[in-house]
Structure 1
Amino acid sequence: MSEAAPSAAGEQQDSAASLQKIQTLLSAKDDTSRFVGLALLKSVLDNTPELRSNEDGIASLWDSIPQKFLDRLIRTGSKQQAKGTNDMLDLAVSVLHTFTALLPERSKQDSKLVSRIPQLVACLLYCSDDTARLVLEALVSLVNQPEGAKVFDTVDDLSTLTEIAPVQSLVLDTLFYAWLGVMATTADKRALSSKIDQTVGALVVSFRGTDGVTLLKFLGNLLPRLDPELLPPNPTWLPSLAKFVRDLVVSRPTADGRAAFANLSAALLEVYPIQAPQLLFADNVDTKSPTRSESPFAFLLVNLLLIDIRSTIPTLLEQLNSPSYSVTAQRLTSAYNIVSNFMGYLLRALEALDSGESSNNQWIMKPDLLLKLRTSISETMSLTAEYLRDRWDASIAGAMGLHPEARTGAANESGVSHFTLAWDSKSVHSSQDPLILAAIRTLAIWLREDDGEQLRKEAAGLSDMFVDLYQTSSSPEKGLDFKRPVLVAFEGILEERKGKEAFLENGGWLTLVDDLCNILQASSTISDENEAARGVEIVRNLLRVAEAEQPGTREDWMDLVTKAAAWAVPDQKQPPMVEECQVAVLQLATALLVNAHPGLRRRYTHSTSAIIGIATQLRDKVKKDRGLVEALSDVLETLAALRQ
């Protein structure tokens, strides 16, 4: 030990002397000495671990490098690249890359560092592949900082980046972090939108002749995150992106390729709901294309996604806390969203065909393929219902079918309260998992639109989950909102007797009535058309239950009649949807009174009179809407007959 101490002290003295020599060389007047000092500095940093971890020492060394010398080194090196000499450029980039990695986060926003961004972008034209990689790694680190993103936004010519993007994937990371970083601070949204539009167009051109997987992955992550005002309204590159997706789908893609086209397709359907369905689902592919398939593209796309869901869902529960879950869940979420969008597109196409607005050559696919797809969707939705049942039981009770009374004691983990018998993802509770929302939305649409009796009976077993999710749903600003998908699901489930029974047994009536009464009361002062539209959907479901109840209306259901009778009609004119919701509530109250036992009905004579008065006031307010006037007239006639 006595010999080791002097040795360590000697090494420290040598290191200090080296650093002093380097700083002396860097402060010299001639560029040759500075170049030597910079080369020595790079060598010392690469070979002295203790110095690399010394933030103050690194900051001091960075301060000793003259800014103008770095700029001159990059410019001169770039000019000499054509002559085969790139030592200057390589060294300058290497040093910048090293300091970008070693400097503390606060220093990465200093002007001396971020102001090099435009030069780094420009010099890519003259860099070797290895040096280009270092440039891009430095850029990714710098644009992750707010100041770096702002400086990057001042660079007008990004062609040096877009041209090498197919072979340097870090280009896409640079653009991703830079645009998201500047999005929250820029005042000129139109200019940024135009730059994004032009750059994405240039990227699409650069990726021609490739499978485009990295490009699709990049845009699938970027587009849903952009503010709506930053999205180009009708970009010319949309058809080219759709072609990338089409070519990838028919080429038996790898797992990475499947995730890329699924995530991008879902993103396009979300941000371009008018253009994207036509591009992805209509059979308008060039018949001369080498990737042209005998089956319509929509069939290939949806069928491939359904196969992916069916092959993955059965083993997904055991992956909840594995590192791969987030990637798998994102891909399946996209798959569900595409399938649900396709269902909507198919329904619109059927309506257009029935109304004569669509010609035969615009039809999506032949009947035999539609039948195959229907069978495939039904099988997938059955597996989806099974997965939802297992996932919900795991998160709430810990075992399928375990009675709610077994939920003893509460626990709290990662800010999520749950029962001690339950287990779920440690990071994303099932009620906040986008995959669960996407799966329920897709299942709900299919339950409503398809006449599959067996699937509706299976889904009836999910009524407790649907009611629970409805009760705990947050507003879209705070979290996931399951209310509308649940209402759509109940439209299908309530077609079956078993569905009505499950709905009532799990508190569905009380849950929906409470929400409906809140919407009605709020409509007196706030004209929220989204809330009103949900109110109309609630009434549609409750009417189906109320009219089918035998031997008549349950006594506790009459609470809705009391609350409707106490409602105050607003003085001001309101939007049509809000008025439709108000009329729908009166129709529901009327149905409850009509189906009630005469003895029970007599106890609500005063409420009946109040509802007649309310209906009369509303009819005067909506006299220009023939449909609402007829509905209110029917309410008045029916209630008047009950009083006789």
Structure 2
Amino acid sequence: MEAASASRQNENVSIEKIETLLKAKDDTSRFVGLALLKSVLDNSQELRSNEDAVVKLWESIPSKFLDRLIRTGSRKEPKEPKSSPKKESHDMLDLAVYVLHTLCALLPEEKRKSGRLVDRIPQLVSCLLNCPEQTTQPVLETLVSLVSQPEGARALVSIEDVTPLTEIASSQPLALEVLLHAWLNSASAVDRAGLRSTIDKNVGNLVASFKGTDAVTLLDFLAKLLPSLDPEVLPPNPSWIPSLGKFIFNLVISRPTSASRAAFTNLSAALLEAYPLQAPQLLFANETNRDEKPYSYLLVNLMLVDLRSSLPLLLEQLNSPQYPQTARRLSSAFNVISNYIGYLLRSMDAASPSFALSPDHLLKLRRSLSETMSVAVEFLRDRYDASIAGALGLHPDARTADLTSLTWDSKDSTTTVHSDPLILAAIQALAIWLREDDNEMLRKEAAGLCDMFLDLYQHQHPSQTEGRLDFRRPVLVALEGITAENKGVEALLDNNGWKVLSDDLVSILPTADESAASHGIEIVRILLPVVEAETPGPREEWMDLVTKVAAWYYVPPTSGEVGILEEFQVAVLQLVTALVAGTHQGVRRRYVHSVSAVLGVAAQVRERVANAKGGGGVDRELLEGVEDVVGTLGGLR
């Protein structure tokens, strides 16, 4: 007890002595005080945990004195022996940086936001060019801590010249972290046009400084930065994009490591999202020598191999620390694949001169894509079964409330089956391939996912919990491909798909939202062929849709051109007409009043379409469609 009391008393004396020295008028006393402070911080855990004492000591240090130490210690001078003034000046820098670095970790949050710390940022950035190697790391760590707060981020962004950071970034990855935090944390509180220009200029400087390297850390940095930037801050058509393409393809052809594979995969997906016009040409249109495979083929093939080898092992890693990074890479790969399929389709339709794949490469790629999508189907089936039923392959009829305690899913709420970006990315890529490739076997395999598709679809209803991913559009695209096969239609209907989709269709009718209308057209695109193919006619429970549409109170717009809303309305009327026309005459009699109401709505829509005003004039195809509805329903009453 006495020893501890004596220790605390000596510490208090030391603190008072340090305060006195730091408050002295001469720099020599201040330097001694700073050296004593370093020693006490090194050796006293009790002081480090005493927030009040730390704040008091910090406020005793003159800010201008710290700036002088940093400025003097980083001054560029000729090389001298170790005992020279150059060595002494570096000692000054080391001491100032140590104190800032340590106190930055110990001070409370409100003090880290204060000008006393934030105003040191310009000097810390400036010192990096001539900073000793052993001091660079703590300087960067201090900057990362400071720019993690909006106040510090704004201070760094306001520095006109940050070349000390961009020039050392190729050898010091923390420099990239400083820029990343600064740009992202300042975006909401600075001039956005100015920030956009700053980002554009400095990313260009970074690209130049990474020439001659593998640029893995730069690609990883940009893969984090680009998706996180507000569209108003994103440089619109930067000159450095072609250089990124070269970095990516250099990694692709150089037997990439796991780190480089993750970097170019994530950046490729980020570029396609941020620059949907420029990036496909950059990544997919490049050619090599005649005897070599196109870069785009190599890039996509590497991602397909990665997906096929990684997905079967992923479920067992679900709650491991590696899962988030692995899932991010695989999500990016799926997103690149989705974009690539779209690019191939556009190129073939337009007979594009930039289309670089030979028939042989196309055939190999199609085979590889189909194999990968088959693996994706298995992964999705296993992942969903594990999360819902706690067992792989358990039939939906066997799932009861008593099994909920057995479910096996991610402990992280952001990566459960309903909120995992990897699930969404996998379904998006699978959906496009199911619709565009006439692969009967794959469509039959994917039909086994209908229960999962419809469950994910329903979780996106506006009344459901916010924050979940929107699976609706990719699910509809997938169902369009699956229902091209009879087994797919059966799976859709066996899993209550008609009710799920038709109820959503009816909920869209009263809205005047073009996005919702587009969504509704996709629903009709699935349901209409199902109705037309059903024999001997539509099921009686489907006729409920006729009654619901008959209850729709249609109010025609008084102005504006005919567009997607009218196209959606005509599509719904065509679906109802198919139901009425296909059903048995005896059943039809029970719906005579509903048919009359629907006919009244159709007449109003026809008038709206026929009297269209504006530059586009009358949409003849749409008018013919609604007139066919009016004529058919009129003849069935």
CA shift digits 1:325-354 (9 cap, x unpaired): 10100000000000010000001001101x
1:613 to 600, 623, 627: 600
**Cα contact 2:180–2:225 (8 A) shared by 1:** yes
**Cα contact 1:474–1:481 (8 A) shared by 2:** no
2:307 to 306, 309, 314: 309
2:523 to 538, 541, 547: 538
2:565 aligned with 1:561, yes or no? no
* Corresponding position of 2:137: 133
- Structure 2 counterpart of 1:121, which letter? V
**Cα contact 1:144–1:178 (8 A) shared by 2:** yes
1:602 to 586, 589, 592: 589
Shift, 1:269, TM fit: 0.4
2:332 aligned with 1:334, yes or no? yes
Shift, 1:51, TM fit: 1.2
Which stretch shows the higher mean deviation, 18-27 or 596-605?
A: 18-27
3-state SS in 2 of match to 1:345: helix
3-state SS in 1 of match to 2:510: helix
**Cα contact 2:609–2:622 (8 A) shared by 1:** yes
3-state SS in 1 of match to 2:327: helix
* Corresponding position of 2:109: 105
- Structure 1 counterpart of 2:582, which letter? N
2:620 to 622, 626, 636: 626
In 2, distance between residues paired with 1:611 and 1:60?
A: 79
In 1, distance between residues paired with 2:65 and 2:122?
A: 16
Shift, 1:610, TM fit: 2.1
* Corresponding position of 2:250: 247
2:230 aligned with 1:227, yes or no? yes
**Cα contact 1:81–1:126 (8 A) shared by 2:** no
CA shift digits 1:371-417 (9 cap, x unpaired): 1111111011001001111111111111234344544447xxxxxxx
* Corresponding position of 2:83: none
- Summarize the Cα distance change of 1:293–1:333 in structure 2 as closer, same or farther, 3 Å threshold: farther
- Structure 1 counterpart of 2:151, which letter? E
3-state SS in 2 of match to 1:432: coil
In 1, distance between residues paired with 2:595 and 2:295?
A: 57
* Corresponding position of 2:52: 56
Shift, 1:560, TM fit: 1.1
3-state SS in 2 of match to 1:521: coil
Shift, 1:567, TM fit: 1.8
2:26 to 8, 24, 30: 30
- Summarize the Cα distance change of 1:293–1:178 in structure 2 as closer, same or farther, 3 Å threshold: farther
2:125 aligned with 1:121, yes or no? yes
* Corresponding position of 1:414: none
- Structure 2 counterpart of 1:167, which letter? S
- Summarize the Cα distance change of 1:53–1:474 in structure 2 as closer, same or farther, 3 Å threshold: farther
* Corresponding position of 2:316: 318
* Corresponding position of 1:515: 504
**Cα contact 1:309–1:380 (8 A) shared by 2:** yes
In 2, distance between residues paired with 1:197 and 1:227?
A: 14
CA shift digits 1:449-472 (9 cap, x unpaired): 011111100000001001111111
Give matches, 1:452-471, under 5 Å. 452-471=439-458
Unaligned runs of 5+ in 1: 411-417
- Summarize the Cα distance change of 1:566–1:7 in structure 2 as closer, same or farther, 3 Å threshold: closer
2:388 to 386, 396, 406: 396
* Corresponding position of 1:258: 261
Give matches, 1:202-221, under 5 Å. 202-221=205-224
Give matches, 1:193-592, under 5 Å. 193-284=196-287, 294-353=292-351, 358-359=352-353, 362-409=354-401, 419-427=404-412, 428-473=415-460, 478-522=467-511, 527-572=512-557, 573=559, 576-592=563-579
2:93 aligned with 1:89, yes or no? yes
Shift, 1:511, TM fit: 0.4
Shift, 1:571, TM fit: 2.8
Which stretch shows the higher mean deviation, 24-33 or 250-259?
A: 24-33
3-state SS in 1 of match to 2:321: coil
Shift, 1:642, TM fit: 2.3
Shift, 1:570, TM fit: 2.0
In 1, distance between residues paired with 2:250 and 2:461?
A: 40
Shift, 1:618, TM fit: 1.1
**Cα contact 2:513–2:565 (8 A) shared by 1:** yes
In 2, distance between residues paired with 1:537 and 1:521?
A: 17
CA shift digits 1:63-100 (9 cap, x unpaired): 11111211222222233655634222222112111111
* Corresponding position of 2:633: 639
- Structure 1 counterpart of 2:405, which letter? T
In 2, distance between residues paired with 1:132 and 1:223?
A: 27
In 1, distance between residues paired with 2:492 and 2:334?
A: 25
2:165 aligned with 1:180, yes or no? no
Q: TM-score, normalised by structure 1?
A: 0.93
**Cα contact 1:407–1:420 (8 A) shared by 2:** no
Shift, 1:508, TM fit: 0.5
Q: Count matched residues.
A: 616
**Cα contact 1:467–1:508 (8 A) shared by 2:** yes
CA shift digits 1:138-170 (9 cap, x unpaired): 000001112111211211111111000001111
* Corresponding position of 2:68: 72
**Cα contact 1:408–1:420 (8 A) shared by 2:** no
3-state SS in 1 of match to 2:74: helix
Shift, 1:271, TM fit: 0.9
Aligned-residue CA RMSD (Å): 1.7
Instruction: Name the % identity.
Output: 61
- Summarize the Cα distance change of 1:477–1:578 in structure 2 as closer, same or farther, 3 Å threshold: farther
Shift, 1:14, TM fit: 2.7
2:158 aligned with 1:171, yes or no? no
In 2, distance between residues paired with 1:9 and 1:479?
A: 57
3-state SS in 2 of match to 1:270: helix
Shift, 1:47, TM fit: 1.7
Which stretch shows the higher mean deviation, 159-168 or 471-480?
A: 471-480
- Structure 1 counterpart of 2:544, which letter? D
**Cα contact 1:385–1:459 (8 A) shared by 2:** yes
- Structure 1 counterpart of 2:276, which letter? P
In 1, distance between residues paired with 2:127 and 2:98?
A: 13
Shift, 1:363, TM fit: 2.0
Shift, 1:426, TM fit: 0.7
Shift, 1:612, TM fit: 2.1
* Corresponding position of 2:154: 150
Q: TM-score, normalised by structure 2?
A: 0.94
CA shift digits 1:478-514 (9 cap, x unpaired): 3200000010001111011111111000011000000
Shift, 1:184, TM fit: 2.2
CA shift digits 1:290-347 (9 cap, x unpaired): xx98101111011100000010100111111111110100000000000010000001
- Summarize the Cα distance change of 1:80–1:189 in structure 2 as closer, same or farther, 3 Å threshold: closer
- Structure 1 counterpart of 2:263, which letter? A
